[in-house]
Amino acid sequence: MKQKKNNGLINLLRDYCRFICIACFCLVLNGCALVPTTPSPRFYVLGAVSENLVSKKINISSDALIGVGPIKIPGYQNRPQIVTQDKEKMIKFAQFDRWGESLEIGLQRIIGEDLLVMIPGVKFVLYPWNQSIEVKYQVVLEIIQLDSELDKDMFLVAQWMVIDPKDSKTIMIKRSEFRHPVIPQNYSGLAKTLSIACASLSSEIAVELEAILKAKRMLKIE
């Protein structure tokens, strides 16, 4: 009789343990279902200007190799997250919308690509280049200001110069400012707008390079 009683108690304990295990398992599953999933980050890159969008290509050919870069950007823009401002000019860092490459590298790359389209008869190389390569002129840029409001516009201020890398002599220096509306008003639109601003900047650089190359050609003729 005592043995039967003990067996019954053991079975009862087993059933109770099974119940507790099943209940805990269900709670764990339910907890996992309630935990919100973290959004995957979205990455953006700048795009070069299309050839069919260039209203006027500069028809000049030269054997002079032109270097593009380095380019310097404001410290607050030197991060993977896309940086914007609100109406109170407070800086905001996008947690899940990021650049697919360093912004400095991206700006340098796209300006070099734009110049290739705008002055097809001239060769360009991006900084840093091999020391054995003889670069005749070098375009050095600093982005002084790059402010973007998603629901408004983008304002870009750049100071840039063309130098002779052999003796670091400054041939010309200029300040350029551009303001473009952000269309569409999201991070994808911001990347497109920055690409447009870079095309505007590249166009100004191309005009000055044309003048420098023409002046060099005239000196050779004389």
* Residues 22 and 124 both lie in one domain: no
* Residues 33 and 46 both lie in one domain: no
pTM, full prediction = 0.82
Percent above pLDDT 70 for the chain = 82
Please give the structure tokens belonging to residue 174.
Answer: 């200029």
* Residues 21 and 66 both lie in one domain: no
* Residues 167 and 185 both lie in one domain: yes
Q: Which pLDDT does position 106 carry in this prediction?
A: 98
Mean pLDDT of 173-192: 97
CATH number at residue 107: 3.40.50.10610
Residue 178: pLDDT over 80: yes
* Residues 65 and 166 both lie in one domain: yes
174: β partners: 160
Q: How confident is the model at residue 174 (pLDDT cuts 50, 70, 90)?
A: very high
pLDDT tens-digit series, residues 115-162: 999 999 999 999 999 989 999 999 999 999 999 999 999 999 999 999
Residue 3: pLDDT over 50: no
pLDDT tens-digit series, residues 63-103: 889 999 999 999 999 999 999 999 888 999 999 999 999 99
Domains of the chain: total: 2
* Residues 148 and 184 both lie in one domain: yes
Q: Could you list the residue range(s) of the whole structural domain that residue 88 is in?
A: 42-221
Least confidently predicted of 36-40, 184-188, 208-212: 36-40
* Residues 26 and 72 both lie in one domain: no
